[in-house]
Amino acid sequence: MTEYSLKQLAEYVDGEVRGDANLVVAGVGTLQSASAAQIAFLANSRYKGQLETSRAGAVILSPKDAEDMPAINAIVVNNPYAAFAKVAQRLDTTPLPAEGVAETAKVHASAKLGSNVALGEYVVIEAGAVIGDNVTIGAHTHIGPEVTVGADTKIWSGVNIYHRCVIGAQCNIHSGAVIGADGFGWAPENGRWLKIPQIGRVIIGDDVEIGASTTVDRGALDDTVISNGCIIDNQCQIAHNVFIDENTAIAGCTVLAGSCRIGKRCMIGGASAINGHISICDDVQIMGFAMVIKEITEPGVYASGIPATHHREWRRNGARYRQLDDLFKRVKGIEQELQKIK
């Protein structure tokens, strides 16, 4: 079990201790569920009333919320949510994907493993692969020929990384992810489809997280690129030759079509669809279920999609939608007649 005193944790998050600095905590929890051996956080002042009844051993909160707080142990810091994330990392008890090197792991003679690499059962590492120091690879994962994996990266069970892909340092790739499968490249000829070989790679930067069952297609000619600090949720589709710039977050079930470019620090809500061959500038927030079909050139919040309504209302609106073109022509005709009168 990992344990830290409030003093140690406060120093780690650059905060101030109120109360017993020597109190030891061994886990994290919510204000409602935490025990005396755990630390909770208050990031939203409207939940401040829960401090009175919380059994948490300590709480992380802001200077404003600490002004008239009850007599509890606390770490006071300007950004409680970020501080809680850092503390939770220190107290994390999630087991590693593997420990040691399993006897069933298969490593090609030409592959290079760094120091302290852990390989789970039935891991396969193909020819020419280079695995950095302190990399952990879970059971039944396949690392293709000439793949590079940076130091301190965790790859969970059942991941497939195709040939020549590059994974950066300190990444976290979850189960079922497929990195470097063929992009959807085909040419029509006489009613048939001719496959276009996808000879690019996937390049993933440092500190990137790829969610479970997410697919990142390799480039057709150039590379598909996911830059440093990006976080991608579960079951997303990143098509060939997509470029995602640094520290962008993409929520679950989002689809990025081929050759689109996403800027820095963007946030894309779940189940969104981004059209191919368009660019989205830095600092854009796209709400869930949005369909982006043209370029976004100004930072801000964007939304689309149709909220659920009663079926009867939806059918009426659907019928009226089909009449929009006719209605537009009628209005246009009326405007023209009015112009003649003037």
Catalytic choice (174, 240, 277, 310): 240
Computed on alpha carbons and rounded to an integer, the radius of gyration of the chain in Å comes to: 26
Residue 199 neighbours by CB distance under 10 Å: 13
The CA-atom distances, in angstroms, between 179 and each of 144, 155, 201, 236, 310 are 10, 11, 9, 12, 41
What is the distance between the alpha carbons of residues 105 and 123, in angstroms, rounded to a whole number? Answer: 5
What is the distance between the alpha carbons of residues 177 and 150, in angstroms, rounded to a whole number? Answer: 17
Identify whether the C-beta of residue 242 lies closer than 8 Å to the C-beta of residue 261.
Answer: yes
What is the distance between the alpha carbons of residues 284 and 260, in angstroms, rounded to a whole number? Answer: 14
Give the DSSP H/E element, type plus range, for residue 13. Answer: helix 6-13
Residue type for position 16: E
> For 12-47, b where at least 16 C-beta lie within 10 A, e where not — what string?
ebebebbbeeebebebbbebeebeebbbbbbeeeee
Q: Is 24 helix (H, G, I), strand (E, B) or coil?
A: strand
What is the distance between the alpha carbons of residues 339 and 267, in angstroms, rounded to a whole number? Answer: 47
240 is catalytic: yes
SS (H, E, C) 178-237: EEEECCCCEEEECCEEEECCCCCCEEECCCCEECCCCEEECCCCCCEEECCCCEECCCCE
What is the distance between the alpha carbons of residues 251 and 272, in angstroms, rounded to a whole number? Answer: 8
Tell me the catalytic residues. Answer: 240
